[in-house]
A and B are shown apart, each in its own frame.
Chain A
Amino acid sequence: MSFPLLTATAAVPALGAVATAAVPAARRTAAKWLALAFSLATLLLAAVQLVRFDPEAKGPFQLTESHAWIADFGVRYELGVDGIAVVLIALTALLVPFIVLAGWHDADPLETKSTRWRPTQGFFALILMVEAMVVIAFEATDVFLFYIFFEAMLIPMYFLIGGFGDRAGERPEAETATQRSYAAVKFLLYNLVGGLIMLAAVIGLYAVTAHQLGTGTFSLTEIVQARANGELEFATTTERALFLGFFFAFAVKAPLWPLHTWLPNAMGEATAPVAVLITAVVDKVGTFAMLRFCLQLFPEASKWATPVILVLSLISILYGALLAVGQRDIKRLIAYASISHFGFIVLGIFAMTTQGQGGATLYMVNHGISTAALMLVAGFLISRRRSRLIADYGGVQKVAPVLAGTFLVGGLATLSLPGLAPFVSEFLVLVGTFSRYPAVGVIATVGIVLAALYVLVLYQRTMTGPVKEAVRGMPDLRVRELVVVAPLIALLLFLGIYPKPLTQMIDPAVEHTMSQVEKGDPQPDVRVNDVEAAK
């Protein structure tokens, strides 16, 4: 048997979580280094996955592992990656070391607490735990296996949001604690409700397969194959109901309007690195699952629901951007910007074109990197002034030019400036949408203007103008902070100029998904070849 690479990629951070949690209270610096080491080891494994993955290979999944697990219900421990998953795993593994580094001091215990209290160990262990679960969710090709980790990741996330926040500045500690637990509970309840509805659909799926195939199965490959062979056929209403059950859970996680309101609370109250973990890593499981499960398990229902979903994503794009413009809190602004971006991702997925879905997948990666850059720098800024309010800043550019510069680059990436990675994916999504639904594509471009508005207003109010008294003497980026930001910016530039390595990975997987839905790309009116032939 070959080395179980996929299992290892999830097991290493899980082991890391246990090891980090076990570090004695007094040795919290050791715990940090340990967490960093484990996250880097995971990154190494993800890199090996990327190398071992062969975009040319036949078949939907590679590096597969399959073991019987709960034989009674046909639940199997089945892992496998396609081009989409392997890229998203790489993104996750890439971001976590930066999250760890950026949050280096976020969980240092306050002097007043007793020594038995070990928040630092807990903080980093929880981060690694989330990573492990996200990785396995990306790898799972068994619906039930996926569901378990899709839900289980709520637990460490819940404690990360509720247990750790920004150091109180002018607000009293008790008030921030209340806000924080409100945000954490809201996060949990929204996602639990989504998860419960999905659970019903998962059970329903099992019932249908058990009924039609004789033995029930959760295996994505088996179900897809059985459908292709005609052994398994969903009644229209059943398929739609099951689809809605899955989609609802993913739309909460993504999040899509109007199920988005947990995100600004969660991202606002959590520390910046945790906010990045939410939006750049955990939320991606939602959009990823739409591609992998909704479209592949329920292609007919997906097409049926497309018009409504397109409208919801359009609303998300515009609504999120408009609300971002109206925010007074830096982190909430970034959260609403993310809602707008998730709108683009879902739009791309349901445009059902190669460009739309390829763009959407690329968008997930690029949004992860750009939001990480912007949010982490915002976090560094907030840690200096101990306030999240935009109005408390002004003229930072003068005192901390490097911080301001990196913040600007993060912002420019967020508004999808050409030359930076997000432009490529956003444009692909727009083109992909436009080629099937021109009106939708045109309306979505309004989001481009609004993105420029919220980013530049944020930059202007915080970084330019006369230097505010409270900002005077603010130190510029420290070495640790630079180590976090510089590679992210380099990556944004690189993927903006040369996204081909990623699109090569993603393309075949998207083609496979498209073939499941049986949709081809719309064809142009005047073919280039005709033009050339006419010469």
Chain B
Amino acid sequence: MENLIGLLVLVPLLGAGVLLCGGRRLDSSAPWIGTLLAALSFVIGAVLFAGMLGRDGEDRELGTTVFSWVPVGDFRADVGFQLDQLSMTFVLLITGVGSLIHLYSIGYMAHDERRRRFFGYLNLFLAAMLLLVVADNYLLLYVGWEGVGLASYLLIGFWQHKPSAATAAKKAFLVNRVGDVGLSIAIMLMFTTFGTFAFGPVLEGADRAGEGKLTAIGLVLLLAACGKSAQVPLQSWLGDAMEGPTPVSALIHAATMVTAGVYLITRSGAIFDGAPDAQTAVVTVGAVTLLFGAIVGCAKDDIKKALAGSTMSQIGYMILAAGLGPIGYAFAIMHLVTHGFFKAGLFLGAGSVMHGMNDEVDMRRYGGLRSYMPVTFVTFGLGYLAIIGFPGLSGFFSKDKIIEAAFAKGGTEGWILGGTALLGAAITAYYMTRVMILTFFGEKRWQPDAAGEPPHPHESPRTMTVPMIVLAFGSVFAGGLFSLNDAFLNWLEPVTGHAEGHSPVTAVQVTAATMVVLFVGVALAWAQYGRAPVPVTAPRGNVLVRAARRDLLQDDVNHIVLVRGGEHLTRSLVYLDHTVVDGVVNGTAASVGGLSGRMRRLQNGFARSYAVSMFGGAAVLVAATLLMRAV
């Protein structure tokens, strides 16, 4: 059984290796090879899951050490795997949703001449993400962590002939690297504090390390999570990452990558539990991001960017929940899974729309598509209902729990967090309704593409619709299933623990409030976009709208502070290196031995003078030797 865990990672990794090194012979079969290997990995996951269900709650964890990786003195890093309920949940989500996205890509990328490479990268993405969640120590997790960064770099920049794609890829990698610094400092701190960075001893010993150390570790772990999960202040890469092909967006936003930060914080629960200040930082980041993303999502006309804002916001919910400690861990993960279903469904739906509309992404140029692409409409619509938290659908259960948990934090903090989460729910209802109306309802506002070709919207091929249908099922039923007898909570409890908070409000009150804000959000969007005709070019909008369209000025700030400042710095350093450093050292040399004059003469390139200088050097040696004899 234990050996299967390694296989889980190895299978897609093998796929990546074969596809990337395989050469042109594999071009035609590559999509199927990639998809089958992803599916095989899912099957292995399912087998492990079945085995796990056969054992008791406390006895479900599997662990295995494969080999000793970096043993230097007391520093012992192993390649070892650990599969408990938390990892298992991720494994099923990653391989399940991942396989569906592979399948979808067969149709979506059918006409791309570099699809062999695309599927290789997709497999690499899965392998890295799987390694991240089954590693049994932080250093191996780090390998998966950066592997995910690499895979996203390759996929976001997949159409690298477009400069915008290449730039977006680079940006994603760099911003993630800033987060990675956080993770590496966290590992170093663990090593100096505990003498190890394996999950077991670190998490068990955490309560003896002292709050100061734990807070420090918690804060740098949060920095790492901010990078991968696109939380404020490291959120800027996510919107640009839409430059990648749409299945990539689905993969990044639903099954992999952005969920990594939530995993990291939940996994390191013992550290955060001992560091209340770090937890406050986590919930603050989550709350800020959930509003930030939601506001950005309202202003975007690009369907993928609106969904990206939404992802940022939903991950904000999860980070918020994870920051609440044992009250929230299980709900963070539950929302993560249900979100995985509906966000993947929404992105694949968006891709399907773009597929039918000449790759147009501006929702102001859509409209009335529901009768042209019925399957897309229905599946996308179910995803929409799920994400806004329509009663009975997946998002309803998971988001509601997070809002409850936020109130249960207690005190003023609880009211602020709960209120923010409710406000976020209202905005979510607003922007998602906007997306829905602009795309599928109202007038046709279709425009011919750059080549003058008017769009001929049509339903997508079977390989694309099947995954959308499966995901729609998940969007509808997963939440209900998970909440049946608190099944999900009980499943995770042995790993994450669980505590009930002291909520100032009852669950019914929370649900009622959620329903009210949901209705308000939908109604507002309906009033604005449903009743009045939508202009094809966006109106100028007020200051907030304009700022939100520019992602609340995040790039402008980065540009002024980092990019421009950095350019000045490097440029002046290059100049200084040429003049001052070189000059001073050369000058010193000159004053020592009058070398600079000779240097100039040497440059005339006569072999004779080279020989003289060599001879000179040798002579110095000999003279020194003779001197020694005298001593």
Contacts and interface: CB of A to CB of B under 8 A. Distances in A.
A526 B73 contact: no
A300 B571 CA distance: 40
Contact of B209 (A260, A523, A525): A525
Nearest to B184: A445
B577 A323 contact: yes
A435 B201 CA distance: 19
B67 to A, nearest CB: 7
Interface in A319-368: 319, 322-323, 325-327, 353-355, 358-359
B191 to A, nearest CB: 6
A155 B189 CA distance: 47
Given A192-B617, A464-B160, A428 B195 contact: no
A24 interface: no
B204 to A, nearest CB: 6
A189 B599 contact: yes
Contacts of A463: 160
Nearest to B595: A189
Interface string A415-449: 00111000110011011001100100110011011
A366 B587 CA distance: 35
A389 interface: no
Contacts of A460: 166-167, 170
B163 A466 contact: yes
Contacts of B170: 456-457, 460
Contact of A397 (B160, B204, B602): B160
Interface-central residue, A159, A162, A418, by most chain B CB under 10 Å:
A418
B462 interface: no
Interface stretch (A82-90, A94-102, A174-182, A301-309): A174-182
A456 B173 contact: yes
Contact of A261 (B20, B201, B582, B602): B582
A211 to B, nearest CB: 10
Contact of B181 (A418, A445, A465): A445
Interface in B67-85: 67-75, 79
Interface in A372-430: 395, 397-398, 405, 412, 417-419, 423-424, 427-428, 430
Given A322-B573, A431-B187, A522 B143 contact: no
A448 B184 contact: yes
Interface-central residue, A185, A260, A323, by most chain B CB under 10 Å:
A185
B543 interface: no
B192 A525 contact: yes
Interface in A142-160: 148, 151, 154-155, 158-159
B67 A498 contact: yes
Contacts of B194: 524-528, 531
B109 to A, nearest CB: 17
B122 to A, nearest CB: 17
Given A355-B75, A507-B72, A526-B193, A466 B184 contact: no
B147 A418 contact: yes
A182 B188 contact: no
A364 to B, nearest CB: 15
B208 A526 contact: yes
A111 interface: no
A427 B184 contact: yes
A513 B213 CA distance: 32
Interface stretch (A60-68, A199-207, A291-299): A199-207
A525 B593 contact: no
A215 B70 CA distance: 45
A158 B610 CA distance: 9
Nearest to A192: B617
Contact of B603 (A181, A323, A417): A181
Contacts of B36: none
A26 interface: no
Contact of B143 (A327, A398, A418, A448): A418
Contacts of A477: none
A446 B210 CA distance: 27
A188 interface: yes
A241 interface: no
Interface residues of A, number: 97
A72 interface: yes
B205 A528 contact: yes
Nearest to B575: A326
A452 B173 contact: yes
A503 interface: yes
A434 B188 contact: yes
Contact of B147 (A355, A419, A498): A419
Contacts of B70: 424, 427-428, 499-500, 503
A524 B599 CA distance: 54
B303 to A, nearest CB: 26
A532 interface: yes
A358 B165 CA distance: 40
Nearest to B578: A261
A528 B196 contact: yes
Interface-central residue, B74, B145, B150, B163, by most chain A CB under 10 Å:
B74
Given A525-B213, A526-B209, A528-B196, A261 B581 contact: yes
B74 A193 contact: no
A18 interface: no
Interface stretch (B314-322, B419-427, B622-630): B622-630
Contacts of B163: 464-466
A460 B170 CA distance: 8
Interface string B607-631: 0001001100100110011011101
Contacts of A186: 599
Contacts of B79: 497
A258 B631 contact: no
Contacts of B150: 412, 417
A460 B613 CA distance: 43
B174 A73 contact: no
Interface in A444-495: 445-446, 448-449, 452-453, 456-457, 460, 463-467
A374 to B, nearest CB: 16
B185 to A, nearest CB: 6
B177 interface: yes
Nearest to B145: A418
Interface in A213-266: 257-261
B585 A258 contact: yes
A54 interface: no
Nearest to A155: B614
A210 interface: yes
Nearest to A425: B70
Contact of B208 (A521, A522, A531): A531
Interface string B147-169: 10010010001001111011100
Contact of A354 (B20, B74, B631): B74
Interface in A111-145: none
B72 A428 contact: yes
B188 A435 contact: yes
Given A193-B592, A319-B577, 8 more contacts: A155-B617, A189-B589, A261-B577, A355-B75, A418-B143, A430-B188, A526-B193, A528-B194
Interface of A: 70, 72-73, 148, 151, 154-155, 158-159, 162, 177-178, 181-182, 185-186, 188-190, 192-193, 195-196, 199, 203, 206-207, 210, 257-261, 319, 322-323, 325-327, 353-355, 358-359, 395, 397-398, 405, 412, 417-419, 423-424, 427-428, 430-431, 434-435, 438, 441-442, 445-446, 448-449, 452-453, 456-457, 460, 463-467, 497-500, 503, 507, 511, 521-528, 530-532, 534-535
12 contacts: A155-B614, A178-B603, A199-B620, A206-B631, A260-B581, A326-B573, A418-B143, A430-B184, A431-B191, A442-B185, A465-B160, A525-B210
Interface of B: 20, 67-75, 79, 139, 142-143, 145-147, 150, 153, 157, 160-163, 165-167, 170, 173-174, 177-178, 180-181, 184-185, 187-189, 191-196, 201, 204-205, 208-210, 213, 566, 569-571, 573-574, 577, 581-582, 584-585, 589, 592-593, 595, 599, 602-603, 605, 610, 613-614, 617, 620-621, 624-625, 627-629, 631
